[in-house]
Amino acid sequence: MSRPPSTHTTPQSHRISDRDLTEIQLHSVDSINDLHRMHPEHGHRGIRPPLSPAHSPTSNGNPCFPGRTDVNQPGQPISAKLQKHLGETWGSGSSRVYIAACGLIAFLLLMLFVTVYFLVQQGGAMRTLTEAVREKQDVSMEISKLIQELQALRHNLTALRDRP
């Protein structure tokens, strides 16, 4: 049996992407701005234009801004939320370049700090080594003087023994 065509149509729900929603919100804001430009008298009479969908409060009373997703959206795992947030944060090319430049500068400053620290440490070690070498030279000079004196004493002692 075939079904007869129904005269009653059911609405189909389509998933609209966040990018499409953002675009719709931006177009709505542009349209409202265009209306205000074309009819400036409404802006001076104290009539407040309605909030655009981009800034309308959500169910919890917080305003919703374009390009920003609700972190506590149900049904999404935390890692997906984090990836989405990072994707939006790192989305534009100029922000990636800026963040990369900041990271590079921070890395170079860290390397400069480590290099200076290493040089200061090496300078202290060089001073200590120089002092140790000077002390060793002084000790070796004293030993050589003592050896010369011992040789002189031995020579004198030998000379005294040889006398009758």
Tens-digit pLDDT profile for residues 26-45: 777 777 777 777 766 655 54
Q: Report pTM.
A: 0.33
Cα–Cα distances in angstroms (integers) from residue 164 to residues 74, 114, 154, in the given order: 118, 77, 18
Query: pLDDT: is 99 or 56 the higher one?
Result: 99
User: In sequence order, which residues have a C-beta less than 8 Å from that of residue 151 and are 6 or more positions away?
Assistant: none
